[in-house]
Structure 1
Amino acid sequence: MSVKAKYQPVLDLGEKLNVQNGDVKEEGGILKIKGTTKDQYEKNLLWDKIKEIGGQNPSDLQADIKVADTSVYHRHTVKSGESLSKIAKLYYNDPMKYKQIFEANTHILKNPDLIQPGQVLAIPNL
């Protein structure tokens, strides 16, 4: 199996995330990938997929992944049935960090218990 075939799920995820300025080369059994994600959350998704396939420090892959918007961790569009604590658990694995999400969005939220589907919330860097 070629190293590119091995990491195809990473390349597929990059396409799904619409990674910009992407480039993929295979040289001497090492896959070299680069590109720019929208935010840190998407970069982390790519790295999680890389580690899932190649382990903590893959020797057959070199990745140079940049982040376009470092002002936030992610921008989340609220779906029906979500709460700030559910969103905090998704991104931070800690529902109590809902307060940080609320504070980062007081320009559109007046009450942490009243969020609406379709609202785009900034998920702050912690």
Structure 2
Amino acid sequence: MSLKDKYQSALDFAKEHGAEMENFHEEDGNIVFNGTVPTPFVRNAIWDKLKSINGLSKDDAAPSEVKANIKVSDDSVYHRHTVVAGETLGKIAKHYFDDASKYVAIFEANKDILKNPDLIVVGQVLSIPNP
């Protein structure tokens, strides 16, 4: 299997999450993976995907065969999240920060549209603050 084939799922994942890829190719025994993503959360998720392909955890270093430069177009927030049915700020905080109690930070970052942390509405776009 070529490196391009091995990492194709990471490329697909990146594109599904709004990445604009500049190049994705094999060069000198490495996979070159360069592009721009909308937010730091998407960049981190792509790195996690690249690592998982090699059986690595998100805390491990990147595979040595991956040469990537993933730029972020908007680093003013960690991510922009559209609320779906059944979500709470706690569930959203757990998803982005692995800590439901960080819902307070999300509430504070969205006080312009939220008046009560228990009242979020499907379709609202919330700014997820940088950790």
TM over 0.5: yes
Helix, strand or coil at the partner of 1:18: coil
Query: Match for 2:115 among 110, 116, 123?
Result: 110
Helix, strand or coil at the partner of 1:65: strand
> 2:69 corresponds to which residue?
64
Residue 59 of structure 1 and its aligned partner are, at CA, apart by 1.8
- CA deviation profile, 1:68-93 (whole Å, cap 9, x unmatched): 00000000001111110011001001
- CA deviation profile, 1:33-68 (whole Å, cap 9, x unmatched): 100110011001100011111343312110000100
Query: Match for 2:124 among 103, 119, 122?
Result: 119
- CA deviation profile, 1:14-48 (whole Å, cap 9, x unmatched): 22112124311211211111001100110011000
Partners of 1:76 and 1:63 in 2: CA distance: 25
The answer to whether 1:44 aligns with 2:44 is: yes
- CA deviation profile, 1:73-124 (whole Å, cap 9, x unmatched): 0000011111100110010010000000000000000010111001000000
TM-score by length of 1: 0.95
Structure 1 stretches (4+) deviating beyond 6 angstroms?
Answer: none
Kindly provide the amino acid, as one letter, of the partner of residue 62 in structure 1.
Answer: K
CA RMSD across the alignment = 1.1
> 2:28 corresponds to which residue?
28
Unaligned residue ranges in structure 2 (runs of 5+): none
Unaligned residue ranges in structure 1 (runs of 5+): none
May I ask how many residue pairs the two structures share in their alignment? 126
> 1:8 corresponds to which residue?
8
TM-score by length of 2: 0.91
Kindly provide the amino acid, as one letter, of the partner of residue 69 in structure 2.
Answer: D
Helix, strand or coil at the partner of 2:90: helix
